Amino acid sequence: MGTLPGFRQFFPQECALRDNIFDTWRRTAKAFAFQPYEAPTLEPLELYIEKSGQEVVDQLFCFQDKGGRAIALRPELTPSLAAMVGAKAAALKRPIKWFNVGECYRYERPQKGRLRAFYQFNADILGEAGPGADAELIALMITTFQNFGLTEQQVHIRLSDRTLWLQALSSWGVPQEQLFAVLNIIDKREREAAQQVIAKLEALHLEGEKLLQAIDHLSSLRSLQAIEAFLNTNKHHEPLISRLEDWKVLMAQLEAMELLPFITIDLGIVRGLAYYTGFVYEAFERSGQGRALAGGGRYDTLVEKLGGPQLPAAGFAMGDVTLQDCLQAHNCLPAQAPQAAVFIAITEESLRPQALRLTQQLRRHGLQVQGTLKPTSLNKQLEQAQHVGAHHALTVSPEGLVAKDLRNGHSEVVKEDVVVEWLRAKGHSCPLGSPFDSDLLKC
Ligand code: HAM
């Protein structure tokens, strides 16, 4: 029987690749001093209604549990995080910088870059309203791409601003209660013909053609100077000019971190989720191929909407599906680590107890070690050593321990009491770590 549509099985090779991606996500988040948190996989359905927006609600996996509760598999982490932080806000030191790596579920049509179960790396900062937090998050997103080996020629962040959009739409006469509907239309603009968009705007009783012209013009501007010049053409735009100060701070900080080459100012991005309030951004392949690699923004009202205090917040999530496609396209997939780094062989069965003792000793030092599980010829054992990708085979023989470098075929005799040091000198590290050996701190 196959899997459900949009769900994946992970064989060891795929698991290794996935874990490698997780490692880079976690390592980068920790370098930025973010702390890990976890939230439940199942949440009350109510958590998402009206907070995430209709698109996400339409894609929910939901059911009634045996107690009659309406349950949803989490489609994203942000409402869970906002509820968690809101409940303990008074006790948490600011700024709150948290990250999570976990699985999310959306009942979408499975297609390239979109599945029904996928992993996200979420990073959020709560308790800081200024653009410094937005800059830190965008820097974390870019550094994550860099740590995978991706460059500004390969990926970029399209940076936009809901504050600017909301103020601009109001100044163009869009009534308050229709602002979100119009943002949704702008979100889909890239994929729709002008006539279709005009019809949607007119269905809201708005001046479709004129409004679309203004929307397309603002979306096409690619620099702060161009936005400023546009705003200066109309006195109704005056309140928007002050917002440009925040833009200048954000861009200056990104420039100081030498990250500007990754940034494209692009007001064509507004994000589909309902809760965003300020700067918003999405990461894409520079070529324009594929769906978004990551997306995020500021959501200063969500914590309060979920019953917490008024608390500014911003964050992003990066998905594993589009990221993996992108890494593959740019030859940035991490090399597969061997299953075992060291293989222990024996020349005769009577030496098995000695070999098992040595195997355990090396494993307790945190080395990845494999031996034979049943009587087998030495040739077969060395074949197996190649098969698991071992760099060294240690053969226990009546004459002593013979170490063979399986990459160049060189062999030498090594004394058993110095074999750990010998292996370390040959570059074997302790990938697993070991709680048993304080020596590990040195490797
Ligand atoms: P989102 O744009 O809905 O934002 O998702 C973020 C990323 O998750 C996408 O760019 C994509 O890489 C991945 N993703 C989303 N849906 C799918 C899918 N069906 N299959 C594969 N990958 C997918 C959020 O989820 C916000 N909660 C992010 C955020 C965090 N905002 C503030 N903090």
Least Cα distance to 313 among 157, 33, 83 occurs for 83
Predicted confidence at residue 440, as pLDDT, reads 38
Do residues 310 and 297 make contact, with C-beta atoms less than 8 angstroms apart?
Answer: no
Look up residue 227 and give its amino acid.
Answer: I
Q: What is the DSSP string of 52-70?
A: T-HHHHHT--EEE-TTS-E
Cβ–ligand 1 contact at 55 (below 6 Å): no
From residue 310, give the alpha-carbon distance in Å to each of 157, 314, 418. 29, 13, 61
DSSP-assigned letter for residue 109: P
Q: What are the residue ranges spanned by the domains of the chain?
A: 12-329, 342-442
What is the third-level CATH fold of 12-329? BirA Bifunctional Protein; domain 2 (3.30.930)
Per CATH, the number for 342-442 is 3.40.50.800
| Dihedral angle, C-alpha 382, 387, 393, 397, nearest 10 ° | -30
Least Cα distance to 279 among 183, 193, 384, 165 occurs for 165
Distance of alpha carbon 237 from its chain centroid, rounded?
37
| Residue whose entry in the numeric block shows the structure tokens 């702390």 | 35
Cβ–ligand 1 contact at 300 (below 6 Å): no
Cα separation of 206 and 164, whole Å? 19
Cα separation of 183 and 247, whole Å? 20
Instruction: Record the pTM.
Output: 0.94
| Residue whose entry in the numeric block shows the structure tokens 């929910």 | 60
Cβ–ligand 1 contact at 52 (below 6 Å): no
Cα separation of 436 and 81, whole Å? 36
- With the most atoms of ligand 1 within 8 angstroms of its CB, the residue from 60, 77, 103, 118 to mutate is 118
Using the mean position of ligand 1's atoms as its centre, give its distance from the Cα of residue 294 in Å: 6
Query: Who's near 212: CB < 8 A, 6+ residues apart?
Result: 194, 197, 198, 201
Q: What is the DSSP string of 213-273?
A: HHHHHHHH--SHHHHHHHHTT-GGGHHHHHHHHHHHHHHHHHHHTT-GGGEEE-TT---S-
Predicted confidence at residue 438, as pLDDT, reads 39
Cα separation of 88 and 85, whole Å? 5
Cα separation of 287 and 322, whole Å? 14
- Separation of first and last alpha carbons in the chain: 46
Helices 179-188, 208-220: axis angle to 10 degrees equals 60
Cα separation of 95 and 38, whole Å? 18
Give the 3-state secondary structure of residue 38: coil
Predicted confidence at residue 430, as pLDDT, reads 61
Give the pairing type, strands 35-36 and 96-105: parallel
Cα separation of 40 and 10, whole Å? 22
Cβ–ligand 1 contact at 125 (below 6 Å): no
Using the mean position of ligand 1's atoms as its centre, give its distance from the Cα of residue 317 in Å: 5
Least Cα distance to 114 among 7, 213, 227, 214 occurs for 7
Give the pairing type, strands 342-346 and 369-371: parallel
Ligand 1 atom with least separation from CA of 81: 33
What are φ and ψ of residue 56, in 5° steps? -70, -40
Cα separation of 355 and 374, whole Å? 13
Cα separation of 68 and 299, whole Å? 32
Using the mean position of ligand 1's atoms as its centre, give its distance from the Cα of residue 223 in Å: 26
| Residue whose entry in the numeric block shows the structure tokens 């925040």 | 246
Cα separation of 104 and 118, whole Å? 6
Cα separation of 383 and 192, whole Å? 58
Do residues 158 and 266 make contact, with C-beta atoms less than 8 angstroms apart?
Answer: yes
| Dihedral angle, C-alpha 146, 152, 155, 159, nearest 10 ° | 100
Predicted confidence at residue 231, as pLDDT, reads 81
Using the mean position of ligand 1's atoms as its centre, give its distance from the Cα of residue 164 in Å: 23
- pLDDT tens series, the chain, 443 aa: 899 999 999 999 999 999 999 999 999 999 999 999 999 999 999 999 877 677 777 899 999 999 999 999 999 999 999 999 999 999 999 999 999 999 999 999 999 999 999 999 999 999 999 999 999 999 999 999 999 999 999 999 999 999 999 999 998 999 999 999 999 999 999 999 999 999 999 999 999 999 999 999 999 999 999 988 888 887 777 778 888 999 999 999 999 999 999 999 999 999 988 899 999 999 999 999 889 999 999 999 999 999 999 999 999 999 999 999 999 999 999 888 889 999 999 999 999 999 999 999 999 999 999 999 999 999 999 999 999 999 999 999 999 999 999 999 999 999 999 999 999 999 887 655 444 443 433 33
